[in-house]
Amino acid sequence: MLNFFSCLFIVLLLKCEAQVPNLLSVASHPRALYVFGDSTVDCGLNTSGPSYHRPYACDSPLRGRFSNGYTVVDLLGLALNLTVSMPFWENDKDPNSIRTWSFDYADAPTAILSTVSINQTMKIQIKHFEEHIKEYSPKFWPSANEVSNYLSKSIFVISIGTRDILDYYFDGNKYLNASGKISKSEFSDLLISELQKYLTELYELGARMILVFEIGPIGCYPIIVGSDKPPGWCLDELNDIICTFNGKLYHKLTELASTLEGSTFILAKIYKQIYDIVEYPDKHGLEDTKNPCCLVNKSEEIYCTPYMKPCKRTDQFLFWDKLHLTERANDLIASQCLNDTDMCLPITSQESIPGTVLMESGKLGHHHNILLCACSFLIQVIQLNDS
């Protein structure tokens, strides 16, 4: 009896794994990568910004990354046979290569809401993208159909929201309603409804495959956790706000995938992964998952002190400065995102990928995966009974 059940269980796992496509299979041979957001994916648009000086990007020939080397989108791009991300205005340099490039519109101080102290939102990035497509597409593709086809085979990546969360946590009294500071749930709703506008705009401009990053567990980052705190200690109060946002983000993407025809949204669930790295450094082959690798010599500062030597073994650290990850950590995230649907979960609408998995009204989420497993189980039992 025991043997019978464990055997059944194995069959079941294999079935489930085979039926949920990972990012590599959903996004094979993308035509281009278009990147939007904040410093987590910025490739150095601002040549006077902090990331333009060493030690930033010191382990690479690049400049402008908020890391010691590649960002997570550089690494995703490389794995998908595209270039590392480059400032979006470089699109005019080599028109013949345009099909394999990764264009980056992300700019460090960008937030979702325009109410934060630095009032830069994704609006300007989307405007740049729209201009880019209007200006260049007629040169390469004679018909609008061809442009749509090209864009529908590209991946759009968005990583944003860290600034909003920090602003709400530290300076939340500006987010008010009639009876005072709004709750984390109301704040998350506000962020999500604004983000939804941007995602819908991108869809209307031709985006079909959209990868959105969760906000990481910033309550565990050196910007919050002093070196006096025990390893693995995190500020739960801040992380709770982030979890509220991430949860609502998942539901919104599921909803958008079913309402925007032909769309595939992919949620990059980095929160859990980074949290796991913080808690279990050994498991992920890291030594230090608490301190920044570079020298940040003022307590109120976030960025590396310019031109100072970073830690010796950059590949042993999770954090690069007080808010950004090392290339090693970005690499752990990028590879897992490509291979593992626990990390990057494609949420597709029924129309876009005929013949795969798909469930009622095109929604594919965790609950549905569980449902799917249950179904395989039933089928299996029926087969066994028949024989």
Residues that bind ligand NAG (CB under 6 A): 24, 28-29, 46, 48-50, 80-81, 118-119, 177-179, 182-183, 186, 297-298, 305, 335-336, 338-339
Q: Please say whether the beta carbons of 368 and 359 come within 8 A.
A: yes
DSSP per position, 163-219: HHHHHHHHHGGGSEETTEEPPHHHHHHHHHHHHHHHHHHHHHTT--EEEEEPPP-GG
CB of 314 vs ligand NAG, minimal distance in Å: 19
Q: Distance of CA 336 to CAs 149, 274, 284, 340, Å?
A: 28, 12, 12, 5
Q: Which residues partner with 212 through β-bridges?
A: 158, 267
Q: Of the two residues 81 and 361, which places its CB atom closer to ligand NAG in the complex?
A: 81
Which residue is listed with tokens 């752990």? 332
Q: Of the two residues 48 and 173, which places its CB atom closer to ligand NAG in the complex?
A: 48
Q: Of the two residues 69 and 362, which places its CB atom closer to ligand NAG in the complex?
A: 69
How far is Cα 116 from Cα 172, in angstroms, rounded to an integer?
Answer: 10
Q: Of the two residues 256 and 353, which places its CB atom closer to ligand NAG in the complex?
A: 353
Q: Of the two residues 46 and 149, which places its CB atom closer to ligand NAG in the complex?
A: 46
CB of 116 vs ligand NAG, minimal distance in Å: 9
Q: Of the two residues 335 and 369, which places its CB atom closer to ligand NAG in the complex?
A: 335
Q: Of the two residues 48 and 96, which places its CB atom closer to ligand NAG in the complex?
A: 48
Residue 282 neighbours by CB distance under 10 Å:
8
Closest residue to ligand NAG, Cβ-based? 183
How far is Cα 379 from Cα 223, in angstroms, rounded to an integer?
Answer: 51
CB of 341 vs ligand NAG, minimal distance in Å: 12
CB of 292 vs ligand NAG, minimal distance in Å: 14
What type of residue sits at position 178? A
Q: Tell me which DSSP letter residue 121 carries.
A: B
Helix, strand or coil for residue 291? Answer: strand
CB of 258 vs ligand NAG, minimal distance in Å: 27
CB of 177 vs ligand NAG, minimal distance in Å: 4
CB of 106 vs ligand NAG, minimal distance in Å: 12
How far is Cα 345 from Cα 366, in angstroms, rounded to an integer?
Answer: 9
Residue 144 neighbours by CB distance under 10 Å:
11
